[in-house]
């Protein structure tokens, strides 16, 4: 998040706090906030009940009481932590739905390994709970570090196929777990048929409840349909079972064993009962996977609430708060609480507007954990299973049927493959496949972006050197011999060969038999991999075959040294490195002019200037007249001809050498705007506008100028009007040529 966004978030929060201070909680508002918190707490408890039944069933059912405590405690601590500090007030917490799917895999692996090694069900359940605490602690540390280091925004770069694959797998595992809670785990087709037959009424209730909640949610678009339907279904099934014969005839309809929330502390429990830490080490990848899935899920939840609330959140702060909650929960036996979008939406729908509703929800959940009420005995197991099926099916439908990724078949296919890998091979395999797949998708997608951002020739794009009309016309005529390429991005194996082909095609046969030049502006290139450097070697070989000179611009020192080691540039090679694109282009122009212009020694400066003036003003007679009004100056290197903001009272004609035009604080420290080569005019704009100098002009070594002062120009106009008119026409023509070429360059760059 940018500093501006973060300031906006903090400003919103301060404004909200000020509003609350100005408006104390009256009785009506307090009742509304309490009702909203109660609704959110009811939803969180429903999730805790369902997920504890899912995680601790069959032989692990002896750990149900402690598992329910763990989920309630984790939700309460997280709700209180984020409720007091979140930038998305009000918010509520609950079990992390996608991460619960990881815990399903973790519970099966840890519990199965412990039982196979001869552990009792009680010991196996304790091993599972310890692994959950480790996963919660690891998740908390990862989230807190990401938030403290302000790395939250980088999580947004996780590609959709990975996110979609994780979520789809979590949805599948949850839905399958809900079905398993009703029919058990039959090991054969015959056993499955028997289980379906014997569990048909319970299965009908579970699936019917899941379908009903989904339809109600779709039709109403409100989250309050879920807790209302949950309570109503539990009461109706309870009533139906009581009418059918009371509790005696309810075998399989309720969870068996002790199910009151029972406090447990990981450290004390581990000291009181031996823990096989090798089992934890064997399942370390799955524990780490829980952290990875939670990070992605929290990012999606925060992004979803940002859209719903139409306000920006401080993602780093949300990560820190949820991470802190995990760090605090783990030693107290709490498991996997997290900001819950569904519970937070329920707060909005039931009137929650302040942190008070968040705190009420957390306190109610904590109270139920501390009081030890046997909630599981009040809710039939098929209703709990139906809630799990609904959650899993909703995630599957969102990812596989309603996701915009369906329009991009590669993203959709990769998400499905990651889901299948997780379901069949575990989260570790899914994480590895997701990483590899995301890299491949990124490489394929990024390779479609041409690293050559722009390509122009000297015909339409010039350096910042202002040259004589004759030299400019020559460079324009021969402009197809100089090519300028703007490169950008990271050049890697996916785009390197395309770079070579693009440049080779542009340079291949345009200047057969003549030396040509290519300027490669690499200032916007973030880096090269080995394949890219090999492509540049191929380009160098192509240049040798076609009399092509390469000029690299914008390289940093490290890259330039690497180019020298590879033999791309060097004293024995014609190819050069330059600090900027403009310097490289100016050098190419100089090289081409040197080839075309006469190789005889130049004439004396005065004669050279007279010849130039004769050409530009229409004859040697006029040139001779003009020369009488000009004053010759030989300038020392770095001498100031003009100072910025001084009076513009002269025009200067550059006869030899060149001048540098800068804006800023003096020679060598300002921003170089242009270089004025010989046979150019400088200072004419300020002179005729009677203004002040807009730049500082300094001399380069060997600079010779001829100066026309304002007094001399007044005398010229009075004494020699014809020569003065020819001089004005020359100035206007020079300005027109500059403007025309500037328009051409701007058009080419647009």
Are 620 and 583 members of one domain? no
Tell me, yes or no, whether 701 and 569 share the same domain.
no
Domain count, the chain: 3
Q: Tell me: do 561 and 653 sit in the same domain.
A: no
Question: Has residue 3 got a pLDDT over 50?
Answer: no
Please tell me the predicted confidence (pLDDT) of residue 507: 77
pLDDT of residue 508: 67
Percentage of residues of the chain with pLDDT beyond 90: 27
Cα–Cα distance, 362 to 75 (Å, whole number):
7
Q: Stretch 82-99: mean pLDDT, rounded?
A: 87
The pLDDT value given to residue 70: 92
> Nearest 5°: phi and psi at 376?
-65, -25
Does 632 share its domain with 681?
A: yes
Helices (H), 598-683: 605-617, 620-628
Q: Look at residue 445 in the predicted model and tell me its pLDDT.
A: 66
pLDDT digits (tens, 9 = 90+) for 498-553: 778 888 888 765 555 678 999 999 988 888 887 788 888 888 888 888 888 999 99
Residues 521 and 638 in one domain: no
pLDDT band at 722 (very low <50, low <70, confident <90, very high): very high
Least confident segment among 5-9, 166-170, 458-462: 5-9
Return the DSSP state at 60.
G
Is the pLDDT at 25 greater than 90? The verdict is no
In a domain, 656, yes or no: yes
Q: Are residues 158 and 290 in the same domain?
A: yes
Confidence of residue 20 (pLDDT cuts 50, 70, 90): very low
Q: How confident is the model at residue 28 (pLDDT cuts 50, 70, 90)?
A: confident
Which residues, in sequence order, are CB contacts of 645 under 8 Å at separation 6+?
692, 693
pLDDT of residue 405: 55
Check residue 65 and give its pLDDT: 87
Q: What is the pLDDT of residue 7?
A: 41
Q: Are residues 589 and 610 in the same domain?
A: no
What the block records as the tokens of 358 is 């968040």
379 pLDDT above the threshold of 80: yes
Q: Say whether both 573 and 640 belong to one domain.
A: no
Coil vs helix vs strand at 520: strand
- 329 within domain boundaries: yes
pLDDT in tens, 645-662: 999 999 999 999 999 998
Q: Are residues 643 and 575 in the same domain?
A: no
pLDDT-based confidence at residue 408 (cuts at 50, 70, 90): low
The pLDDT value recorded for residue 551 is 94
Domain that residue 688 falls in? 605-749
Do both 530 and 406 map to the same domain? no
Distance CA 700, CA 678 (A): 11
Rounded to an integer, what distance in angstroms lies between the CA atom of residue 225 and that of residue 680? 81
- CATH number of 477's domain: 3.30.750.24
Does residue 288 lie within any of the structural domains?
yes
Question: Mean pLDDT over residues 332-359, rounded?
Answer: 89
Nearest-angstrom CA–CA distance, 648 and 653: 15
* Calpha distance 428→49 (Å, rounded): 27
List the CATH number of the domain containing 649: 2.60.120.10
Shared domain for 587 and 616, answered yes or no, is no
Final residue belonging to a domain, choices 596, 629, 654: 596
Q: Which residue has the higher pLDDT, 8 or 313?
A: 313
pLDDT tens-digit series, residues 449-491:
678 888 898 888 888 888 888 888 888 888 888 999 999 888 8
d(CA 225, CA 70): 26
Decide the pairing of beta strands 696-699 and 640-642: antiparallel
| Residue 587 maps to a domain | yes
Mean pLDDT of 562-567: 88
Q: For the ranges 174-178, 256-260, 525-529, 558-562, which has the lowest average pLDDT?
A: 256-260
437 in any annotated domain: no
Q: What is the mean pLDDT of residues 353-367?
A: 92
Q: Which residue has the higher pLDDT, 609 or 13?
A: 609
Q: Is residue 652 located within the same domain as residue 579?
A: no
Instruction: Select, from the ranges 403-412, 564-573, 660-669, the one with the highest average predicted confidence (pLDDT).
Output: 564-573
Percent of the chain with pLDDT over 70: 89
Asked whether the beta carbons of 370 and 149 are under 8 A apart, the reply is no
Other C-beta atoms closer than 10 Å to the C-beta of 444 total: 11
pLDDT averaged over the chain? 83
| pLDDT over 60 at 41, yes or no | yes
What's residue 651's pLDDT? 94
Worst-scoring range by mean pLDDT, 326-340, 458-472, 734-748? 734-748
Would you state the pLDDT for residue 131?
93
Query: Model confidence over 578-599: pLDDT tens digits?
Result: 999 999 999 999 988 888 765 4
Q: How far apart are CA 611 and CA 550, in angstroms?
A: 36
Residue 108: inside a domain: yes
Mean pLDDT over 421-430 rounds to 80
pLDDT value of residue 9: 41
Domain boundary among 596, 631, 656: 596
Which residues are CB-contacts of 600 (< 8 A; sequence separation ≥ 6)? none
pLDDT of the residue at 447: 63
Instruction: Give the whole-angstrom CA distance, residue 275 versus residue 123.
Output: 8
Residue 435 lies in a domain: no
When pLDDT is cut at 50, 70 and 90, the band that residue 22 belongs to is very low
Q: Which residue has the higher pLDDT, 172 or 469?
A: 172
How do residues 223-264 score in pLDDT, each as one tens digit? 777 888 888 888 898 888 887 765 545 567 877 655 567 788
| In-domain check, residue 537 | yes
Identify the domain boundary among 573, 596, 619: 596
């Amino acid at each position: 998040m940018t500093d501006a966004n973060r300031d906006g978030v903090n400003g919103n929060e301060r404004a909200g706090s000020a509003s609350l201070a100005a408006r104390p909680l009256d009785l009506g508002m307090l009742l509304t906030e309490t009702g909203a918190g109660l609704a959110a707490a009811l939803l969180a408890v429903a999730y805790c009940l369902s997920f504890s039944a899912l995680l601790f069933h069959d032989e692990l059912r002896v750990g149900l009481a402690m598992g329910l405590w763990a989920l309630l405690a984790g939700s309460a601590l997280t709700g209180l932590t984020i409720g007091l500090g979140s930038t998305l007030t009000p918010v509520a917490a609950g079990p992390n739905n996608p991460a619960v799917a990881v815990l399903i895999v973790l519970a099966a692996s840890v519990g199965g390994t412990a039982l196979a090694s001869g552990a009792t069900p009680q010991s196996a359940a304790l091993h599972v709970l310890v692994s959950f605490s480790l996963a919660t602690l690891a998740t908390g540390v990862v989230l807190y570090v990401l938030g403290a280091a302000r790395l939250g925004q980088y999580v947004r770069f996780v590609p959709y196929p990975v996110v979609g694959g994780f979520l789809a797998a979590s949805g599948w595992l949850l839905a399958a777990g809900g079905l398993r809670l009703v029919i058990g785990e039959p090991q054969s087709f015959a056993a499955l048929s028997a289980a379906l037959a014997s569990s048909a009424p319970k299965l009908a209730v579970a699936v019917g409840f899941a379908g009903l909640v989904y339809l109600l949610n779709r039709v109403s678009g409100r989250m309050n349909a879920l807790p209302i339907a949950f309570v109503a279904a539990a009461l109706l099934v309870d009533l139906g079972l009581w009418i059918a014969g009371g509790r005696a005839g309810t075998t399989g309809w309720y969870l068996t064993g002790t199910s009151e929330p029972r406090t447990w502390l990981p450290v004390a429990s581990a000291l009181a009962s031996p823990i096989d830490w090798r089992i934890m080490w064997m399942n370390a990848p799955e524990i780490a996977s829980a952290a990875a899935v939670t990070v992605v899920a929290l990012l999606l939840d925060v992004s979803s609430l940002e859209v719903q609330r139409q306000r920006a959140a401080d993602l780093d702060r949300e990560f820190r708060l949820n991470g802190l909650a995990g760090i605090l929960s783990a030693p107290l036996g709490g498991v996997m609480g997290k900001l819950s979008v569904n519970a937070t939406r329920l707060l909005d729908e039931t009137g929650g507007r302040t942190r008070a509703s968040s705190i009420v929800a957390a306190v109610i959940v904590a109270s139920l954990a501390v009081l030890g009420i046997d909630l599981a005995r009040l809710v039939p197991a098929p209703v709990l299973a139906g809630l799990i099926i609904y959650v899993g099916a909703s995630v599957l439908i969102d990812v596989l049927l309603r996701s915009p990724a369906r329009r991009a078949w590669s993203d959709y296919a990769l998400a499905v493959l990651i889901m299948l890998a997780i379901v069949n091979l575990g989260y570790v395999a899914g994480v590895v496949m997701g990483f590899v797949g995301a890299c491949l998708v990124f490489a394929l997608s990024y390779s479609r972006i041409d690293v050559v951002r722009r390509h122009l020739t000297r015909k339409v794009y010039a350096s910042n050197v202002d040259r004589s009309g004759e030299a400019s016309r020559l460079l324009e005529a021969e402009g197809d011999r100089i090519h300028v390429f703007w490169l950008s991005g990271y050049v890697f194996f996916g785009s390197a060969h395309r770079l070579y082909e693009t440049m080779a095609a542009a340079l291949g046969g345009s200047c057969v038999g003549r030396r040509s030049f290519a300027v490669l502006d690499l200032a916007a290139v973030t880096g090269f991999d080995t394949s890219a450097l090999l492509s540049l070697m191929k380009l160098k070989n192509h240049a040798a075959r076609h009399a092509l000179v390469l000029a690299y611009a914008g390289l940093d020192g490290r890259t330039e040294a690497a180019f020298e080691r590879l033999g791309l540039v060097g004293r024995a090679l014609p190819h050069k490195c330059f600090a900027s694109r403009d310097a490289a282009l100016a050098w190419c122009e100089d090289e081409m002019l040197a080839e075309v212009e006469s190789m005889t020694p130049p004439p004396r400066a005065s004669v050279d200037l007279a010849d130039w003036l004769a050409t530009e003003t229409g004859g040697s007679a006029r040139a001779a007249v003009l020369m009488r009004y000009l004053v010759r100056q030989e300038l020392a290197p770095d001498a100031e001809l003009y100072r910025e903001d001084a009076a513009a009272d002269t025009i200067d004609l550059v006869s030899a050498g060149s001048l540098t035009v800068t804006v800023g604080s003096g020679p060598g420290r300002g921003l170089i705007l242009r270089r004025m080569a010989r046979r150019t005019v400088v200072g004419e704009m300020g002179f005729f506008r009677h203004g002040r100098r807009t730049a500082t002009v300094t001399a380069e070594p060997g600079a010779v100028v001829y100066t026309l002062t304002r007094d001399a120009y007044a005398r010229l106009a009075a004494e020699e009007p014809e020569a003065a008119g020819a001089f004005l026409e020359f100035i206007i023509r020079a300005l027109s040529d500059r403007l025309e070429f500037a328009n051409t360059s701007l058009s080419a760059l647009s």
